[in-house]
Amino acid sequence: MLPLIITLFSGLSFLVGYIIVKNVKNKEEFVIFSISLALPIMIGLILLDLVPELFETFSMFDFQYRLLIILGLIFSGVFLLKALDLLIPHHEHNHDKHDVKDHKSHLYHIGFVTTIALILHNFIEGIAIYTTALNDTKAGVLMSLAVFMHNVPLGMSTVSSFSVLNKNIWYMLISLVLSTVLGAIIINLSGLVISSVLLGGMIGITTGMIIYISFLELLPEIICHRGNKESIYGLFAGIVVLLMIIFI
């Protein structure tokens, strides 16, 4: 049970993000802040965690084949999320921050697609934390703590995006928390061992999804609010949090 509890701890970080957002008075300003905060965390996750993990997972292949496999998986993730994106109502946005209805709908859309990517990412992360904790409790706790730290700002960003229309927040939170422990529960009950190649494929697709969110959803929103102090503070806070995660 202890490895399951350690895994669950990392998933509860999204609830912490919810509590922070719930107790903030200026919701609209905090949405801008939290989206700006999430961008450096997302980029750090891609460059410092996911991409190195992909190269290590496919290390059995020569470099050129490894690179082709990784790029293929990443582009698959981008195209998959784009395809899902097209199925979500009101995905167009003219980036006119004075069009309140359009802007709020777009923020909700960002939260929706981010949740889709994070559910897959959390599933993989939960498996990694659980299997690590099974073999070494201390290493599992440290890994869970690091994941907790980078999930709190992501939770803040996602909850903020949903909260602008006050829709489906609890469905989103439950999905994010349960997706973290789902992989661990499946392995615990079945004794299943997921192959490194299959896990690498899932990581690659997730990386593509997170790249899509970072550069085609979050970045345009930040550019739209580049003159706002909340956007600047959020980017700075995101860099600080990222540095804290790196050096822990």
Which range of 1-5, 39-43, 68-72, 223-227 scores highest in mean pLDDT? It is 68-72
User: Where is pLDDT greater, at 141 or 237?
Assistant: 237
User: Where is pLDDT greater, at 106 or 1?
Assistant: 1
Tens of pLDDT, residues 193-236: 667 788 788 888 888 888 988 898 788 888 888 888 989 998 99
Ordered by start, the domain boundaries in the chain are: 2-247
Summarize the confidence of residues 70-78 as an average pLDDT. 94
**193 DSSP 8-state letter:** -
Q: Which two tokens stand for residue 222?
A: 């930040």
| Alpha helix stretches (DSSP H) within the chain | 2-11, 13-22, 27-45, 51-57, 63-87, 100-135, 137-163, 169-190, 196-213, 219-224, 229-247
pTM of the model: 0.73
pLDDT in the model for residue 166: 55
- Contact at 8 Å (CB) between 81 and 110? no
pLDDT in the model for residue 72: 96
Q: Which two tokens stand for residue 18?
A: 């919810």
What is the pLDDT confidence band of residue 245, given thresholds at 50, 70 and 90?
confident
- Contact at 8 Å (CB) between 137 and 2? yes
- Contact at 8 Å (CB) between 196 and 204? no
Q: Of all helices (H) and strands (E), which one includes residue 194?
A: none
Tens of pLDDT, residues 75-130: 998 998 888 767 655 444 444 554 555 566 666 667 777 788 888 888 888 887 88
Tens of pLDDT, residues 167-199: 567 777 788 888 888 878 887 777 666 677 887
pLDDT in the model for residue 93: 47
- How many Å apart are CA 86 and CA 89, to the nearest integer? 8
pLDDT in the model for residue 55: 93
